[in-house]
């Protein structure tokens, strides 16, 4: 099934996305990794497994830590979108990141966030169906202007505001398979009276 993603997007994420991704809508292949812009995480490797502590499996789950290299000169701001390549859900919309080398720490609240697929402005915890693996695509964009969006703006408004203003992009992907959440009760523990 073709989604309209350019071939370079599918190549960058390591497989064919079933959903159209933001990077394919607002960037060109020549912008990917421009000036050495790269996105990484100390918690998982590119195309690696996302730890359950960043997913719906864990009660106290938070957003994963992210790090990026310096964007091209003239970058006014950085923005980040995380999407599920399999079902198209937007998991995180972030902007207001300084146009320089930086990081978001594990669970850190970003400067500005927009609405995710559930309509709130938080990291939407990955929760694929039991036994089904999904791919989550972290997309970092260098912008040639600062965004004036109000916190809580929707994805479509965000997309409209970055279109035509992306000068470089970086992609990081993670996989996660739906697990059963184990419910423990007293019978699970071998406790002697």
HEC string of 139-175 equals EEEEECCCCCCCCCCCHHHHHHHHCCCEEEEEEEEEE
pLDDT-derived band at 7, boundaries 50, 70, 90? very high
State the pLDDT at residue 179.
74
CATH number for the domain spanning 68: value is 3.90.280.10
- Evaluate whether residue 189 is within a structural domain: no
Residue 185 lies in a domain: no
Residue 46 domain-assigned? Answer: yes
Is residue 16 a part of any domain in this protein?
A: yes
Q: Per the domain annotation, does 121 fall within a domain?
A: yes
Where residue 1 falls among pLDDT bands split at 50, 70, 90?
very low
Number of structural domains, the chain?
Answer: 1
Q: What is d(CA 119, CA 8) in angstroms, rounded to the nearest whole number?
A: 30
b/e for 149-183, b at 16 or more Cβ within 10 A? beeebebeebbebbeebbbbbbbbbbbbebeeeee
Map residue 24 onto helix, strand or coil. helix
Structural domain harbouring 40: 7-178
pLDDT at 181: 60
Q: Which residues neighbour 99 within 8 Å (Cβ) at sequence distance 6 or greater?
A: 71, 75, 76, 77, 78, 142, 143
Tell me the per-residue pLDDT of 40-88, one tens digit each, with 9 for 90 and over. Answer: 999 999 999 999 999 999 989 999 999 999 999 999 999 999 999 999 9
Instruction: Categorize the per-residue pLDDT at 182 as very low, low, confident or very high, splitting at 50, 70 and 90.
Output: low
- Per-residue confidence (pLDDT) for residue 2, from 0 to 100: 47
Tens-place pLDDT, residues 18-30: 999 999 999 999 9
Q: Cα 176 vs. chain centroid, distance in angstroms?
A: 13
């Amino acid at each position: 099934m073709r989604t309209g993603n350019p071939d370079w997007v599918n190549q960058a994420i390591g497989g064919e996305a079933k959903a159209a991704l933001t990077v394919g809508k607002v960037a060109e292949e020549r912008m990917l990794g421009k000036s050495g812009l790269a996105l990484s995480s100390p918690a998982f490797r590119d195309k690696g497994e996302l730890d359950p502590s960043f997913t719906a499996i864990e009660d106290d789950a938070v957003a994963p830590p992210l790090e990026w290299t310096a964007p091209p000169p003239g970058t006014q701001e950085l923005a980040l979108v995380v999407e599920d390549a399999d079902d198209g859900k937007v998991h995180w919309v972030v902007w207001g990141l300084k146009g320089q080398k930086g990081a978001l720490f594990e669970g850190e609240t970003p400067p500005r966030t927009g609405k995710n697929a559930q309509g709130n402005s938080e990291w939407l915890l990955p929760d694929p169906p039991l036994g089904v693996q999904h791919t989550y695509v972290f997309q970092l964009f260098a912008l040639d202007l600062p965004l004036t969006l109000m916190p809580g703006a929707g994805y479509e408004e965000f997309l409209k505001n970055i279109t035509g203003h992306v000068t470089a992009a970086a992609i990081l992907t993670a996989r996660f398979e739906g697990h059963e959440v184990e419910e423990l009760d007293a019978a699970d523990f071998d406790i002697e009276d």
